[in-house]
């Protein structure tokens, strides 16, 4: 049974359109994932702080709602609204997250570390915990966590982010154990270098520093990661894609990257 066949069977079986909730969906991987799932026939519910960007992502059939994953009350309001409208969630994509700064541990910035942990770790936990009752009401639920290769590798200056993404990996694997025996699948997608607003946020708006991250190679795109999400969630219900690790061809590890020298101007 292919991806579209699974969705058609699910829709016919329950006489409903599957509902996908995506966090951090105002740009980048979250936005690309929402658009891709919408094209696959999902009713998408997108959440982010930048609500002005969300409606474009949601499209005519989707729902755009304010969501700040660092605020438990915001999460509660968001999930209550989803519950009122749909009564269940078929797919939850925990995408909200990101990195701040690139300081060595001896110069670690407390606010950056706290921000990364609240977004990547606590936000993911709060969101998952709040959504689980609605995921259990679906015929086949699915939690997809967007992790990173920083969840199992490290690099200088990245301790705050790699620690947070290691936590995401641990949470994902633990959730898989805890939900074993229930019809709820759990997947982690761990990308390498993806050219989005990620580096711009990490370097606090410094566009030159952000561009340098991707110089001399062809990085992944947000759409590449969205393809991975679509693949995972559209497998037959007895198939769980535990994890997908995806990198640009030029990236062997989080720190070993083959870069082409810039062309000299004649």
Of 3.40.50.720, 3.40.50.10890, 3.40.50.300, 1.20.120.1200, which CATH number belongs to 3-246? 3.40.50.720
As a whole number of angstroms, the distance between CA 161 and CA 14 comes to 41
pLDDT of residue 166: 98
Provide the annotated active-site residues.
Answer: 161
Domain boundaries, the chain: 3-246
pLDDT of residue 36: 97
Return per-residue pLDDT of the chain as tens, 266 residues.
Answer: 455 665 655 554 556 899 999 999 999 999 999 999 999 999 999 999 989 889 899 988 999 999 999 999 999 999 999 999 999 999 999 999 999 999 999 999 999 999 999 999 999 999 999 999 999 999 999 999 999 999 999 999 999 999 999 999 999 999 999 999 999 999 999 999 999 877 788 778 878 888 888 999 999 999 999 999 999 999 999 999 999 999 999 999 999 999 998 776 65
pLDDT of residue 10: 57
pLDDT of residue 200: 82
pLDDT of residue 207: 85
């Amino acid at each position: 049974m292919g991806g579209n066949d699974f969705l058609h069977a699910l829709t016919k079986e329950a006489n409903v359109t599957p509902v996908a909730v995506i966090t951090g969906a105002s740009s980048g991987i979250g936005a690309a994932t929402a658009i891709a799932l919408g094209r696959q026939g999902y009713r998408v519910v997108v959440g982010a702080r930048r609500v002005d960007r969300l409606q474009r992502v949601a499209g005519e059939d989707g729902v755009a709602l304010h969501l700040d994953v660092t605020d438990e009350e915001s999460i509660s309001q968001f999930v209550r609204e989803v519950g009122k409208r749909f009564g269940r969630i078929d797919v939850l994509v925990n995408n909200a997250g990101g990195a701040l700064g690139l300081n060595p541990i001896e110069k670690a910035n407390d606010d950056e570390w706290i921000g990364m942990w609240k977004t990547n770790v606590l936000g993911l936990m709060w969101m998952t915990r709040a959504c689980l009752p609605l995921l259990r009401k679906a015929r086949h639920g699915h939690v997809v966590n967007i992790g990173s290769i920083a969840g199992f590798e490290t690099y200088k200056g990245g301790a705050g982010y790699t620690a947070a993404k290691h936590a995401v990996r641990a949470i994902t694997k633990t959730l898989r154990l805890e939900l074993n025996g229930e019809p709820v699948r759990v997947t982690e997608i761990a990308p390498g270098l993806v050219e989005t607003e990620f580096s711009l946020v990490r370097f606090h708006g410094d566009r030159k520093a952000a561009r340098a991250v991707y110089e001399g190679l062809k990085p992944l795109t947000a759409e590449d990661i969205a393809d991975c999400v679509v693949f995972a969630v559209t497998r037959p219900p007895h198939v769980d894609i535990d994890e997908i690790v995806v990198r640009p061809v030029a990236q062997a590890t989080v720190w070993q990257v083959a870069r082409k020298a810039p062309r000299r101007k004649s």
